[in-house]
Amino acid sequence: MDDPTIETMGDQYQYYGPLKVLCEEAAERAMPKKTTIIRPGYIVGPGDPTDRFTYWPVRFDKGGKILVPGAPTDPLQVIDVRDLSAFMLRCGERRRLGAFNACGPKQRLSWGETLDACKRASSKKDIELKWMSTEKVLESKGVQFPIWAPYAGDSKGFHTVSNRAAVAAGLDFTPIQRTVDDTLAWWKTLPEDRRARIKRQFDPAKEAELLAALG
């Protein structure tokens, strides 16, 4: 950042990453070689206030034609909040020092596997996926899908961060199917007005427009 004294994340969260780095550096300066730095990826699961992962189980539970970006083989990294909290407690109890990328799962998770889990969790049987290629997404201004990042260009490494140190320190992973199932079950317990205000969803009108264009 040009100004390291900024304490807000910015309109587009452009200072989010830099501020996290500054926090890590401040902790290490205060407690040299005595810090445990945990860097989560996308935190998902029951209770998630952002709706960025929740969007997909919820959208699949509505059924019909669903617009999905990229390709089934694209990577995805998420961390179930229950796994993250257990890992943080474990690090504290065992005095695990160092920096850990808390993202998962242990083996590479594909975008297609995640969508399959959403399909299995859905109460609807009339689901039809319409794929929008990465190239078309990048060509379309203002088109952004929750949680997914293009496996190309500057974001190609986004969902491929090494978690080997965290796994060696005891990070365990909930199967993606359980995370999806539990997230959808939790969502259905929320008040109707909250469910009507889902955040970070892909705009339904835009989805309908693009589905019509894809045919």
Give the pLDDT confidence of 159-178 residue by residue, as tens digits.
Answer: 999 999 999 999 999 999 99
Contact 200, 52 (CB under 8 A): yes
Looking at every residue in the chain, the average pLDDT score rounds to 95
Determine the CATH number of domain 35-214.
3.90.25
Provide CB contacts within 8 A for 133, sequence distance 6+: 70, 71
- At 54-69, the pLDDT tens digits run 999 999 999 999 999 9
